[in-house]
């Protein structure tokens, strides 16, 4: 299959990392354009040095670029508000949009969990970095046990949280909490983000707590291990930090405020993760950004492959 051209909107850290991932890792995609709004941005400068068409005129500049018609996929690494405007501007051109902002116009996609269900979608949302890291674990538990409550804590280096991340911090928690339920399968979800100012900068750490009903302890740990292996295929720095903890809920422990009217949970499942970045453009400690760009790349590739698959012939009635 001939490589499909993609455009990246957003010439900051995330967009630049996406560009280098497409160049270095993908046999399905090739860079068709880098788009920003700051003429002096490092991402645009690097794109131009690499011979990639670049514009600092935003989405309209992309539309006006020679060769725009050849671009099939647009990866949007801007902000929630900007993506709404970008999606509206691109709507007449029938591009596949992969949204790395919390805008969530299209369905949430976590490649290891539900990409297969949304391979026909034209605008998919990559949730958040914390969601990409933790929702696979919630889904792994929920496929073998009923999860009445799931809580995730994403701890990232303050240095890896740029202006865009900080501006969208409220959307981060709301979007992730919702996706824990919609994609992860928990009856109730909660997300917390911690920006850690430690020096040297810390690698991304994530904690997942699930309150679950009747289930086999070995089934839970086995399902989690399989999911970690699956995610690590496209995010090599994704790993368990320590053994999964599955402990019984004490008979006198009141968890009603967390599980609501659901039956009292039987198990507390605690999972501790670490995500180290691949350092294609971003530093290795920015695993929170790397998992987003890695998931977006995998998603874009799968959507393109699906779009190029031969459509089944319609049967003709005799």
CATH code of residue 92: 3.40.50.720
Check whether residue 67 and residue 11 sit in a common domain.
Answer: yes
Whether 210 is a known active-site residue: answer no
Please answer whether residues 24 and 46 qualify as being in contact, where contact means their C-beta atoms are separated by less than 8 angstroms: no
Cα separation, 189 vs 149, whole angstroms? 6
Number of domains the chain contains: 2
Which of 129, 145, 180, 209 is catalytic? The answer is 129
Between the alpha carbon of residue 248 and those of residues 21, 208, 209, the distances in Å are 43, 16, 13
Instruction: Report if residue 166 sits inside a domain.
Output: yes
Q: What is the per-residue pLDDT across 80-95, written as a single tens digit (0 to 9) for each?
A: 899 999 999 999 999 9
Q: What is the per-residue pLDDT across 177-226, written as a single tens digit (0 to 9) for each?
A: 999 999 999 999 999 999 999 999 999 999 999 999 999 999 999 999 99
Question: Edge-to-edge strand order for the sheet containing 29-35?
Answer: 54-55, 29-35, 4-9, 71-76, 96-99, 123-125
Cα separation, 22 vs 8, whole angstroms? 10
Instruction: Report if residue 119 sits inside a domain.
Output: no
Check whether residue 163 and residue 258 sit in a common domain.
Answer: yes
Q: What is the per-residue pLDDT across 269-298, written as a single tens digit (0 to 9) for each?
A: 999 999 999 999 999 999 999 999 999 999
* Domain around 19: 4-101
Instruction: Report if residue 307 sits inside a domain.
Output: no
pLDDT band at 313 (very low <50, low <70, confident <90, very high): low
Check whether residue 137 and residue 272 sit in a common domain.
Answer: yes
Instruction: Report if residue 312 sits inside a domain.
Output: no
Cα separation, 269 vs 60, whole angstroms? 48
Domain of residue 177, CATH code: 3.30.360.10
Instruction: Report if residue 230 sits inside a domain.
Output: yes
Check whether residue 135 and residue 80 sit in a common domain.
Answer: no
This model's pTM is above 0.75: yes
């Amino acid at each position: 299959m001939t490589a499909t051209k993609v455009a990246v909107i957003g010439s900051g850290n995330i967009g630049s990392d996406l560009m280098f991932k497409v160049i270095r890792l993908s046999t399905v995609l090739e860079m068709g354009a880098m788009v920003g709004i700051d003429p002096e941005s490092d991402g645009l400068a690097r794109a131009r040095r690499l011979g990639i068409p670049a514009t600092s005129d935003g989405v309209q500049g992309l539309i006006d670029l020679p060769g725009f018609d050849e671009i099939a996929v647009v990866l949007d690494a801007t902000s929630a508000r900007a993506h709404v405007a970008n999606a509206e501007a691109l709507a007449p051109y029938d591009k596949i949009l992969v949204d790395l902002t919390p805008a969530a116009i299209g369905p949430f996609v976590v490649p290891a969990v539900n990409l297969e269900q949304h391979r026909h979608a034209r605008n998919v949302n990559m949730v958040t970095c914390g969601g990409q890291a933790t929702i696979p674990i919630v889904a792994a538990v929920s496929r073998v046990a009923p999860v009445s409550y799931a809580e995730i804590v994403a701890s990232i280096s303050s240095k890896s949280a740029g202006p865009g991340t900080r501006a969208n911090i409220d959307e981060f928690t709301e979007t992730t909490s919702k996706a824990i339920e919609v994609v992860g399968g928990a009856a109730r979800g909660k997300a917390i983000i911690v920006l850690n100012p430690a020096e040297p900068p810390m690698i991304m750490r994530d904690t997942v707590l699930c309150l679950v009903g009747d289930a086999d302890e070995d089934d839970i740990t086995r399902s989690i291990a399989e999911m970690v292996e699956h995610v690590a295929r496209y995010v090599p720095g994704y790993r368990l930090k320590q053994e999964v903890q599955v402990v019984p809920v004490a008979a006198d422990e009141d968890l009603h405020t967390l599980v609501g009217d659901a039956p009292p949970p039987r198990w507390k499942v605690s999972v501790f993760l670490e995500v180290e970045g691949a350092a294609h453009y971003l530093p290795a400690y920015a695993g929170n950004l790397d998992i987003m760009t890695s998931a977006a790349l995998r998603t874009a590739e799968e959507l393109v492959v699906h779009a190029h698959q031969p459509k089944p012939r319609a049967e003709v009635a005799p």
